Chains A and B, each alone.
Chain A
Amino acid sequence: MKKNVLHIILFFTFAALSGGLLFYTSQSVQRAEDELYNIQVSVLKEKEAIHALKAEWAFLNSPARLEALALEYLDLVPPDVGQIISDASSLFESVPVLQDSFIEENFHEISSSELKIEKEAFSSVFVTPRKKPIRKNAVIKKRFDTILNEIIAGGVE
């Protein structure tokens, strides 16, 4: 008798449990499928949007349009063949460069006569200036803190 009741209780518990489990599983499958579908739909929408944007990008970048816009709004013109050179070294005369380390090590040891010889050797490159620049109405740059001090002192309007 007792054994029977126990059996029945066990049976119903088991049935309820497995039913619940089945329900849970089917629910999660359904939810996952919904999610999958939504994702696929949004991926497709996204792909279509990218596709349309690519077409728009190609349209906006079409050479005729870019050329017209550049000529209208930029101070740029298409490069001329004359602006292309085959060899960069042909542009400037190469200037001999004294190594920093050499100068520091030998600074005191180079006599003025040696320097003079060196300058003469490179006279084609180094031009000796003869005059100082003349500046009319030259504005002498002031440091900011001096200006500030002047303002505080009331020296400047």
Chain B
Amino acid sequence: MIFHRHLRKAIKLQGERSSTLDLARGRLVLISGFFFAVYMVLLLRSLDLTLIQGRGVDTDTSISYAYSEPVGDNNVRADIVDRNNVLLATTLQTASLSVRPSLISDPLRAAKGLVEIFSDLTYGDVLQKLQSEKNFVRIKRNVLPGEQFDVLGLGEPGLIFEYEDRRVYPQGGLFSHLVGYTNIDTLGQSGIERSFNGLLAKGKETLTLTLDVRLQHIMHREIARVMDEFNALAGFGVIMDVRSGEVLAGVSLPDFDPHNPGKANDMQLFNRLTLGAYEFGSVFKIFSTAALFETLNVPMSTSFDVSEPIKVGRFTIRDYRAKNMVMTVPEVFMYSSNIGSAMIGRAVGGHALKDFYSDLGLLTKLDFEIKEMAKPKVPNPWNDVSTLTVSYGHGLSTTSMQLVSAVSSIVNGGYLVKPKLILDNSKQLMENSKNNQYVQVVSEQTAHRMRQLLRLAVTDGTGKNADVSGYRVGGKTGTAEKVGAHGYDRKRLMSSFVGVFPVDSPRYAVFVAIDEPKGHKGSFGYATAGWTAAPAVSRVIMSMATILGIKPQILTVDQDLGSSLKHYISSKEK
């Protein structure tokens, strides 16, 4: 009871002062609640920072870069690949070593260590750089990962690594002229690297070329072999698809390492395929003979008296191996008679011949995907002597690319093809042929006659060494004397051979030229095209056939394309 009374008193007491007390208590609760909340937030935040976000501080990637994307690989220079997607040029990141001399603690020790790691650095040079007054000095580019590890092991805070792009050519010097090279800032300096610099620098898409690394290797190997055998100055060659003008291989020797173009000499840097304009000699008889058929439409039996050398002014045209007789067109072609060809040129006429050469693109600078392109040297003025000499390929120098595309344009059925290096998969080729986009430079008939003549020159003429059983090679030799200080030099030759196969329905043109070959015992002292370039073309075709899986077709002598011309060849040679 007593307890009850007390309680009632207390309640009564509370009841009297309730409003003031409640107010004070409410404020107290509010303030302490506020502080409680603030401290809770601080506590949680500190927990967050230390325990949750602090996990794995040892790995640098754990730092949160909210909203920041890692640097993409979009700005890396694009790759160049061949037609089968084999890598020809790519960009890799390499480290380069630099130094902040002010941060170097022990220059002597650091220099000693660096010289031990990099054998190509010299102690004095490095020491000088380490003690330099400059803020920042580069010591070495392209440091390998293993070397980088060793440098980090030196423990010098002043040695800094920077990462930069470097152009790498996995095929080495194989494509040094066509693909080209870049400078250390990965800017294209020659070849495709130069002419497509803008596109490659954007780095969006891989550039696919028409080249085939296997065929390129074959060409390289065979030219190197002939150069070695005949102790030649240089050699170059092209494989072209005669239907599309796609360049499947293009070699110019001597070549160089595109990783280190600075060490190459001018001889190596010179791209003979595009920058070299040469007089190719008898190979041009293909064009003058085609001009004869095309402009005058004469029969095969048309004959020329080649028994006497032609004299025009102070100029005398002689044959390499004189055959004192009256020759038909097939004979002129297969024996490669200069007199006969000059007569063919005269028959066609200077104007018509010049127009014909011009249609084939032999007189103007070739429009090609490689910028380094020589202008052909055209006789100016084009007089009567020029007409005679250009008929057998003298007095007019062209690039080999022009020559091969002109030959392709004749044998493929007569439509003009342009050499190209960038692979076009858009089926434009077929569309163009449908829409008659092609320019017909010679008629189908002339094309057929030329194929016959080319075959004859291989089966019975100067190009016998170029034949490959089952693959019906047609072609023409060309042995030109190079121009020396005093006119043509008999000892300095440019021996070339252009072959097409299979000749009845040509698919590939193979061209090889050897600059200044020297005859040896095995070739009986000869260094002419039949002994140098023709066997090389033959070997290239043999390897091509097995690699590309082209089936042979053995024909009897009568089935052969050149056989129908046999009766134009007189059996008696004086």
Taking Cβ atoms with an 8 Å cutoff, the residues of A that contact B are 1, 4, 8, 12, 15-16, 19, 23, 27, 30, 33-34, 37-38, 40-41, 44, 47-48, 51-52, 54-59, 61-64, 67, 78-86
Contacts and interface: CB of A to CB of B under 8 A. Distances in A.
Contacts of A23: 44, 48
Nearest to A81: B542
A81 B546 contact: yes
Contacts of B64: 30, 33-34, 37
A86 to B, nearest CB: 4
A38 B217 CA distance: 43
What's the interface size class on B, roughly?
35 or more
A85 B554 CA distance: 9
B312 interface: no
B61 interface: yes
16 contacts: A16-B40, A30-B66, A33-B66, A33-B67, A38-B61, A54-B90, A55-B90, A58-B88, A62-B217, A64-B220, A81-B542, A81-B546, A84-B545, A84-B549, A86-B470, A86-B552
Contact of B70 (A12, A40, A52, A55): A40
A44 B552 contact: no
Interface string B457-496: 0000000000011110000000000000000000000000
Contact of B217 (A4, A8, A44, A63): A63
A19 B45 CA distance: 12
Interface string B200-219: 00000000000001100100
B214 to A, nearest CB: 6
Contacts of B66: 30, 33
Contacts, number: 106
B171 A81 contact: no
A35 to B, nearest CB: 10
A79 B549 CA distance: 11
Contacts of B22: 1
Nearest to B33: A12
A46 to B, nearest CB: 11
B93 interface: yes
A40 B551 contact: no
Contacts of A12: 33, 37
User: Which 3 pairs from chain A and chain B are nearest by CB?
Assistant: A58-B170, A63-B217, A58-B87
A18 B480 CA distance: 93
Contacts of A59: 170-171
Interface string B26-45: 10010001000100110010
B213 to A, nearest CB: 6
A48 B90 CA distance: 12
